[in-house]
């Protein structure tokens, strides 16, 4: 078997329903505003819906047999409707493209969430190892509860074109990563098991890409009221982020009609995520 044989494979449909309890756990794990998300899930909950079907892909015999580790390289989402609590949904996924060279594979995985009509769709770019990765330089782990500031995203007035957004400070402890994994079902071991992370070539466990994307989404969604504040987003995951490290979401408006933001998640160690988001206005 080879990775190329994955192309065209479909997974699902998986029937899900957005529950109040899961949304509450997700909002707490991502440090979002619990007062805002009572009737709807936040837009970044699309990542949890992705992981309604992604485990079937990760358990595919070809993936299990050929892939050593999985990293998230890029993610796009398009939201058509709010993620309403209580709404029954169907989630399907498929492998759209596969490229491999020199022990590294690039897998593009698309997914769609449908209720009475399309709700959200997305595309994940996974970077996978097809050969044993060099063991990472062991950087140890911070205390399980250690983290920096983790601000809530309070509502703000929409900024003018060219204006900078108010920085949003975010961080996650190792315990937060486990809470996020439980709320999103993203149990990739590089986010909670030190030995697995080092074996994948990392210094230690790293923050989930979709958790950092949730922080970026919060920084923009606070400027737009309602249950569906974001129309589309593209996230590029740059450098791994370790737990306990304090980050800030910075950036600004690049076009105020309909409202496009270009932002980045940064820390003193570098840039971890860059993103372009369009809001609904």
Output the six-digit token pair for 194.
Answer: 């030190």
Ranges under pLDDT 50 in the chain:
none
pTM, entire model: 0.95
Region of residue 241 (phi > 0: left; psi between -120 and 50: alpha; otherwise: beta): beta
What pLDDT is recorded for position 60?
A: 92
Q: How many domains does the chain have?
A: 1
- Here the CATH number for the domain that contains residue 150 is 3.10.129.10
**Model pLDDT, residue 79:** 98
Q: What is the model's pLDDT at position 133? A: 66
Positive/negative CA dihedral, 97, 100, 106, 111: positive
Residue 28's Cβ-count burial label (10 Å; 0-12, 13-18, 19+) is: middle
For residue range 183-197, what is the model confidence (pLDDT) as tens digits? Answer: 999 999 999 999 999
pLDDT value of position 56 = 96
Domain encompassing residue 72: 3-279
Q: From the centroid of its chain, how far is CA 174? A: 17
């Amino acid at each position: 078997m080879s990775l190329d044989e994955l192309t065209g494979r479909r997974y699902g449909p998986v029937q899900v329903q957005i529950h109040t309890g899961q949304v509450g756990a997700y909002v707490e794990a991502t440090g979002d505003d619990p007062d805002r998300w009572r009737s709807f899930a936040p837009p970044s909950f699309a990542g949890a819906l992705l992981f309604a079907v992604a485990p079937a892909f990760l358990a595919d015999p070809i993936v299990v047999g050929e892939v050593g580790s999985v990293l998230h390289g890029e993610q796009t989402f398009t939201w058509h409707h709010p993620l309403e609590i209580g709404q029954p949904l169907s989630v399907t996924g498929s492998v759209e493209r596969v490229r491999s060279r020199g022990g590294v594979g690039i897998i593009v995985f698309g997914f769609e969430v449908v209720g009475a009509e399309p709700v959200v769709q997305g595309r994940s770019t996974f970077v996978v190892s097809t050969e044993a990765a060099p063991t990472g330089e062991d950087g140890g782990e911070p205390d399980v509860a250690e983290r920096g500031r983790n601000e809530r995203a309070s509502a703000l007035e929409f900024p003018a074109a060219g204006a900078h957004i108010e920085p949003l400070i975010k961080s996650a402890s190792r315990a937060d990563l486990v809470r996020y994994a439980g709320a999103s079902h993203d149990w990739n071991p590089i986010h909670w098991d030190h030995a697995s992370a080092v074996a994948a070539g990392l210094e230690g466990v790293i923050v989930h890409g979709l958790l950092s994307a949730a922080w970026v989404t919060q920084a923009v969604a606070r400027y737009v009221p309602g249950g569906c504040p974001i129309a589309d987003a593209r996230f590029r995951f740059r450098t791994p982020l370790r737990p306990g490290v304090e980050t800030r979401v910075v950036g600004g408006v690049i076009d105020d009609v309909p409202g496009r933001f270009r932002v980045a998640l940064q820390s003193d160690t570098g840039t971890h995520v860059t993103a372009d988001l369009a809001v609904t206005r």
